[in-house]
Chains A and B, each alone.
Chain A
């Protein structure tokens, strides 16, 4: 089906390395969201895109985190100099105006 897809599904990296996570939203969805879920925690909002611009970056936990979206479609979330506390499932969601969000399957990031 044409749902939200994310890659990779799993990523294991060493502390200090950079990682890049990808999200392909549902075609035509203008809004795109990144969340993360740490062990035992709820879904933590990271950043929101409307088209290619990010009007709300308030959830990014540090300047090591950045995200971009090109062509109003694919988005990448980059984490530089990863730390063990970055280990989590990173979820992407997209939505049309006034509709609920549709989530991807997530990327499980493990920082050793």
Chain B
């Protein structure tokens, strides 16, 4: 069951511009959301997270926005850099729920 969906398998942006990666979820019990970044031949690495009590969390060039009513979150990267090129996974977890559900990932390519 696809409880977390990333409908764009790929995204290409120019260096310096904004990258916006989107994620939708169906389970209203999810209350903690994370973004992971994955380079080829490496495991995913944690990037940024947001609790359901907030609607925005910012960390340097990365900002995650959460719209609970729409069950939608997005990751903004600005300005985008070539080193940001990777696959980005959205993940969600419910309170006291120990497994996370991941989206299929979006491959971001930042062109110099």
Contact = CB atoms under 8 A, between A and B. Distances in A.
B102 A35 contact: yes
A12 to B, nearest CB: 16
B59 interface: no
A59 B105 CA distance: 19
Contacts of B49: 100
What size tier do the contact residues of chain A reach?
Answer: 20 to 34
Contacts of A13: none
A105 B41 contact: yes
Interface in A40-90: 40-45, 48, 50, 55-56, 58-59
A35 B87 CA distance: 16
A50 B6 CA distance: 29
B43, B44, B49, B102 pick with most chain A CB within 10 angstroms: B43
Interface in B62-112: 89, 91, 98-105
A93 B43 contact: yes
B41, B91, B99, B101 pick with most chain A CB within 10 angstroms: B99
A45 B101 contact: yes
A67 to B, nearest CB: 14
Contacts of A106: 42-43
B45 A103 contact: yes
Contact of B42 (A40, A55, A59, A105): A105
A35 B103 CA distance: 13
B43 A103 contact: yes
Contacts of A101: 46, 100
13 contacts: A31-B98, A35-B102, A40-B9, A42-B102, A43-B44, A43-B91, A45-B99, A56-B99, A103-B44, A103-B45, A105-B42, A105-B43, A106-B43
Interface of B: 4, 6, 9, 34, 36, 41-46, 49, 89, 91, 98-105
